[in-house]
């Protein structure tokens, strides 16, 4: 639940502190009083998963951290940042934010700016980008376009380059880089020298014309929807309070690492079940047992068979270390442990574990949850709804005449259509909802705390909007539609009944002519 009252209170204090700076921009004390309001707003945004506020605040906080002798120039920069922060705060404080209210109009969409030599040639792309949730602003005057990108806090800027090095364009790009927006190069043809020049000026990518909406949207999506990573969870089992305190002191310096300490080996399975560590730091020699024995117990539990185990030991025997690795260990840290080695080992093991775990729950083509994970999340939603006496709506979607797409345009184009629908669905639903790929051209959506009527209305909005999206192939473009079936809990009381009911409703929609949504029952 978003705490709108607290957010509004913090924002009001921030505005008042900014008014004081406006009167005396060269007063460091006023800037010092302004910064804590920004920090508090960032803290609550991270705590409550308010990604847009976090994104808008980031450049402002980076500026405040580097201020030495503030003045009018810094005030002008902050003045360009604050409207974006205010828009994000206003969106979150809107009552419709959590109830799945309608998306904003084009003026509230993330902005992408194009600097091209002939603006009229790109108007169709601008219309297509609106279907992907972006407002594309096109300028043939590069200087005006750059200023517009800075003012509008553009997510990205696409700059058309000539076939030769253009010192004027590169100077403009260098200026753009100082203000923060990421940029992509665009050209009719690209020599290695031109690509090298773009890279040296910090380009995020290189497009060749013609540029399609799916290609551009795929490139800017990671900048718009930045994934919020939870801190790495590190469990430390060591019977020495001194060692525990030392390791926690080292690791707790890093906000990206969260630790929990344990001294009793007999508690290991219970604590691992509750804490779900990304890495286990395990003392090799303890009273009553050794780390090798504890590792064997852990590896016998399927839930924890892939959690990295790093031994903490003074043992230097190669034979012992080989035996320990053979029975489930991943690495050794020899006491006394170097702080740098400790941190690097923990982060590298945690990153790899997170990456492997992500592959286990994500569909490789679309990045959505796979069938198994989507079913797990549906079951969790039903249990939560049962406790809270609320509703879960479950939808199954299928692309109409998808075999015809593959037969006519080829499987590579068919995969592009599947990816396009995947990102479209993910962008359209609320953060609390779940989108998964059921298999082939079928998708599922779990709408938390959402009545069937509201879910049907949302699905119809998405269905109509997606039917306008153009999918490109070598000879031109085409559009596709999808059909959907929906069922809800508690009308259907078990996960199995819910899935079967939604599936039957989907096929009823197909039999009724496709490109429609039907409700079970």
Query: pLDDT (tens digit, 9 = 90+) per residue, 161-175?
Result: 986 667 778 888 988
CA-to-CA separations, 15 to 34, 56, 65, 200, 275, in angstroms, rounded: 9, 15, 19, 39, 40
CA-to-CA separations, 24 to 20, 67, 361, in angstroms, rounded: 7, 15, 53
**Confidence check: pLDDT of 504 > 80:** yes
Sign of CA dihedral 367, 368, 372, 373: positive
Dist CA 126 CA 143 (whole Å): 20
**Confidence check: pLDDT of 425 > 80:** yes
Percent of the chain scored above 70 by pLDDT?
Answer: 94
DSSP state string for 98-121: TTTPPPP-GGGSPEEEEE-S-GGG
Model pLDDT, residue 100: 38
Mean pLDDT (whole number) for 464-472? 89
Lookup result for tokens 């990153």: 351
Dist CA 122 CA 259 (whole Å): 52
**Confidence check: pLDDT of 102 > 60:** no
Per-residue pLDDT band for 302 (boundaries 50, 70, 90) equals: confident
Mean pLDDT (whole number) for 326-354? 86
Mean pLDDT (whole number) for 495-518? 96
Dist CA 263 CA 253 (whole Å): 22
Model pLDDT, residue 226: 63
Per-residue pLDDT band for 238 (boundaries 50, 70, 90) equals: very high
449/167: higher pLDDT: 449
161 is written with which tokens?
A: 């380059």
To the nearest 10 degrees (0 to 180), the angle between helices 28-47 and 4-23 is 160
107-147, pLDDT tens digit by residue?
A: 567 899 999 999 888 988 888 887 677 889 999 888 888 88
Model pLDDT, residue 362: 85
0.75 exceeded by the pTM? no
Helix/strand/coil for 260? strand
Q: In the sheet that 517-519 helps form, which strands lie side by side, from edge to edge?
A: 434-439, 442-448, 392-399, 482-489, 517-519
Which range, 65-74, 139-148, 340-349, is most confident?
A: 340-349
CA-to-CA separations, 121 to 118, 161, 185, 280, in angstroms, rounded: 6, 15, 17, 57
**183 Cβ partners below 8 Å, 6+ apart?**
156, 157, 158, 159, 173, 176, 177, 202, 203, 204
Model pLDDT, residue 467: 93
């Amino acid at each position: 639940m978003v705490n709108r009252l607290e957010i509004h209170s913090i924002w009001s204090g921030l505005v008042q502190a900014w008014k004081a700076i406006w009167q005396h921009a060269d007063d460091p004390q006023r800037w010092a009083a302004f910064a804590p309001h920004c920090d508090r707003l960032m803290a609550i945004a991270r705590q409550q998963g308010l990604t847009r506020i976090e994104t808008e605040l980031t450049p402002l906080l980076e500026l405040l951290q580097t201020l030495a002798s503030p003045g009018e120039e810094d005030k002008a920069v902050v003045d360009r940042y604050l409207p974006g922060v205010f828009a994000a705060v206003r969106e979150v404080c809107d009552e419709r934010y959590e109830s799945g209210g309608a998306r904003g109009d084009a003026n509230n969409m993330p902005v992408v700016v194009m600097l091209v030599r002939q603006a009229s040639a790109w108007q169709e792309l601008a219309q297509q980008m609106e279907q992907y949730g972006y407002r594309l602003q096109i300028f043939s005057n590069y200087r005006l376009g750059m200023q517009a990108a800075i003012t509008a806090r553009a997510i990205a800027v696409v700059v058309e380059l000539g076939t030769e090095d253009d010192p004027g364009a590169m100077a403009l790009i260098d200026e753009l880089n100082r203000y923060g927006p990421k940029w992509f190069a665009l050209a009719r043809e690209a020599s290695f020298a031109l690509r090298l020049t773009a890279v040296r000026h910090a380009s995020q990518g290189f497009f060749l014309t013609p540029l399609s909406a799916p290609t551009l949207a795929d490139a800017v999506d990671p900048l718009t929807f930045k994934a919020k990573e939870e801190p790495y969870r590190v469990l430390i089992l060591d019977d020495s309070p001194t060692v525990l305190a030392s390791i926690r002191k080292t690791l707790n310096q890093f906000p990206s690492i969260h630790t929990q300490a344990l001294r009793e080996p007999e508690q290991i399975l219970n604590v691992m079940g509750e804490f779900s560590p990304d890495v286990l730091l395990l003392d090799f020699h303890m009273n009553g047992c050794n780390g090798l024995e504890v590792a064997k117990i852990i590896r016998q539990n399927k839930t924890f068979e892939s959690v990295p185990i790093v031994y903490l030991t003074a043992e230097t025997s190669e034979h012992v270390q080989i035996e320990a690795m053979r029975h489930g260990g991943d690495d050794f840290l020899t006491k006394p442990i170097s702080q740098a080695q400790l941190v690097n080992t923990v982060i590298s093991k945690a990153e790899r574990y997170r990456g492997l775990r992500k592959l286990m729950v994500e569909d490789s083509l679309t990045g959505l949850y796979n069938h198994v994970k989507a079913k797990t999340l549906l079951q969790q939603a039903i249990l939560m709804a049962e406790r809270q006496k609320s509703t879960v709506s479950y939808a199954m979607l299928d692309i109409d005449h998808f075999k015809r797409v593959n037969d006519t345009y080829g499987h590579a184009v068919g995969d592009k259509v599947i990816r396009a629908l995947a990102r479209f669905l993910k962008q359209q639903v609320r953060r609390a909802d779940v989108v998964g790929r059921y298999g082939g051209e079928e998708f599922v959506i779990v709408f938390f705390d959402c009545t069937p009527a509201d879910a049907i209305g949302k699905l119809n909005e998405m269905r109509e909007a997606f039917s306008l999206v153009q999918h490109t192939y070598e000879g031109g473009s085409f559009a596709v539609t999808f059909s959907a079936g929906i069922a809800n809990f508690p009308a259907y009381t078990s996960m199995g009944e819910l899935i079967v009911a939604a599936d039957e409703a989907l096929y009823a929609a197909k039999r009724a002519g496709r490109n429609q949504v039907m409700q079970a029952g």
